[in-house]
Amino acid sequence: MKKIILISSVVALLGACAGSGNGELIGVQDRPVWNPEDPYGMVFIPQGSFTMGPSDQDVPFANISQAKTVSVGAFYMDETEITNNEYRQFTNWVRDSLIRSKLMMIDESFRKKYAYDNARGEKGDDIVPYQINWRPKLKLNDANWMVGDNNDVNAREYLQQQQIFLGDDQLIDGLPQFNTTLYVYTYKVFDVQKASVKSQRIANNSSGEGSGRKDFIHTVDVNIFPDTLTWTHDYSYSFNDPYTKNYFWHPAFDDYPVVGVNWKQANAFSHWRTKMMNQFLRRTKQPTLPDFRLPTETEWEYAARGGYESSPYPWGGPYTRNVLGCFLANFKPLRGNYVQDGGLKSIKVASYNPNKYGLYDMAGNVAEWTSNAFDESAFSYTHDLNMDYHYNAERWDDRSLEEDINEVMKRKVIRGGSWKDVAYFVQNSTRTFEYQDTSKSYIGFRCVVDFLGRDKKDFQ
């Protein structure tokens, strides 16, 4: 009996010492090692400060773009605008998710596993939702593809009944087409700003009872298919039918910047991109990345300048031509002459030289969404550290109208100018806006990711 007690005491003593560092403060051991690598297709932008705003006197727009010295933390940025083919990866994923969610209701092979009922700890056929099994291949081009637990259902006919495919009365030449109105991406957002305000009130004992985390979590549903008709409805008396019919899907335009994407769709893409990347990192037991997101207005201008403090353009000079007289970006260089710079409309990304940071098309080609709301006087009251002016003009916003959201609150900053803009709009400091729920044939976007640290050299 004494031996048993002695052995138990030793085990207890060893257990108490395990991971204790012999009484020293050594932190939690066996943590994953963080060795940051540049995400594919992105470049590293070092931290720094710069004078944001006009590099020269700008009398007509002096009320919306004052000069201001600000500091920016390090981040990664896409070296080009998001292309049609990259965005198509998103739309295809949503399409395939939709198809599999329909098929798994009649075919068990498309179910990953039966879901568990958390309340009973049981599983069974009547418990939903199921998890999608991504392993079985979709044979959408096979008109005789049979599915179902008994392999007795024609997949094409079933999906047409489920309205995944357009009905026969909507087809041209009898070719099957997907119903893109069903391409809805659903995700949740956590309203950090409102949560922080609420927590501060609770800390100051000024708000009564506290709110739970769920009060600041909102579900967002976004139809993510681009508006391909922008090429037609953006311009009156202009023939753009070939772009309307071909721009997003034809392989000839794969490396062209995606357009017809509104601000909400750009944010949905960023969320999906984060989800895909971090799912892979978790499977491979690696630390996850921060969220992909749209750049702030400050980050965009800082990156566009490429380290040139006072230059009006990303290439570091005050002119739109080089010494040979060639234009340095895709914009509208001359009245009625769109092609003098080499492009009639948007062109393939990276067709011009990058700036000093390695970023392409920060001037021209297509303008780009930023995360910031547009306010003419924002420079006057925003912080000089990672300057940001942001809000969600959604129905859960207390500042939105009951019947309809205030249109002014939907304004989001766009930067960089486009193929249809004159030289002024492709300058680093020029700021303008579009409404968050509108899509244009001259607006695209690129993503950024926060760098977790001061500099990459700190981890080498």
* Interatomic CA distance for residues 407 and 401, integer angstroms: 10
Length of the chain: 460
DSSP state of 48: E
For CA atoms 270, 272, 275, 280, the dihedral sign is negative
Ordered structural domains, the chain, with CATH = 1-81+242-460 (3.90.1580.10), 84-180 (no CATH)
* Dihedral sign computed on CA atoms, order 24, 28, 29, 32: negative
Is residue 80 left, alpha or beta, with left meaning phi > 0 and alpha meaning psi from -120 to 50?
beta
Residue carrying the six token digits 């292309």: 83
Q: What's the sign of the alpha-carbon dihedral 376, 378, 381, 384?
A: negative
pLDDT of the residue at 426? 95
Rounded distance, CA 322 to CA 333, Å?
13
CA 442 to chain centre: 18
Q: Please state, in angstroms and rounded to a whole number, the distance separating the CA atoms of residues 238 and 344.
A: 13
Contact 322, 372 (CB under 8 A): no
pTM of the model: 0.88
Q: Residue 377 has which token pair? A: 């006087």
Q: 137 Cβ partners below 8 Å, 6+ apart?
A: none
User: Residue 7 is encoded by which pair of tokens?
Assistant: 């052995």
Three-state secondary-structure class, residue 446: coil
- Residue 160 main-chain phi, psi, to 5 deg: -70, -35
pLDDT values of the chain reduced to their tens digit, one per residue, 460 residues: 445 444 444 444 444 455 566 888 988 888 888 888 899 999 999 999 999 988 776 666 666 677 889 999 999 999 999 999 999 999 999 999 999 999 998 999 998 765 444 443 444 444 455 688 899 999 988 889 999 989 899 998 899 889 998 877 777 776 778 999 999 999 998 888 777 776 666 656 555 455 677 788 889 999 999 999 999 999 888 998 899 999 999 999 999 999 999 999 999 999 999 999 999 999 999 999 999 999 999 999 999 999 998 889 999 888 999 989 999 999 999 888 889 888 999 999 999 999 999 999 999 999 999 999 999 888 888 888 888 888 777 655 555 544 455 778 899 999 999 999 999 999 999 999 999 999 999 999 999 999 998 888 887 6
User: Could you tell me if 76 and 47 are in contact, meaning their C-beta atoms sit under 8 angstroms apart?
Assistant: no
pLDDT for the residue 192: 81
- CB distance 70 to 52 below 8 Å: yes
Q: Identify the pLDDT of residue 398.
A: 54
What is the secondary structure of 3-40 as a DSSP string? HHHHHHHHHHHHHHHTTTGGGS----SSPPP----PPT
* Structure tokens, 119: 């309340």
What pLDDT, on the 0 to 100 scale, is given for residue 12? 47
The confidence score (pLDDT) of residue 418 equals: 97
Q: Per DSSP, what are the bridge partners of residue 130? A: none
Residues paired with residue 369 on neighbouring β-strands, in sequence order: 414
Confidence (pLDDT) at 428: 94
Question: What is the per-residue DSSP string for 174-195?
Answer: T---B-GGG-EEEEEEE-HHHH
Which helix (H) or strand (E) segment holds residue 432: the answer is strand 432-435
Q: What are the structure tokens assigned to 317, written together?
A: 């000079």
Residues 6 or more apart in contact with residue 130 via CB below 8 angstroms: 104, 111, 112, 113, 114, 115
Classify residue 330 by its DSSP letter: B
C-alpha 292/C-alpha 114 separation (Å) is 32
At residue 59, φ and ψ (nearest 5 deg) are -60, -50
The angle at the Cα of 442, spanning 239 to 260, to the nearest 5 degrees, equals 85
Euclidean distance between CA atoms 85 and 83, whole angstroms:
5
pLDDT of amino acid 169? 78
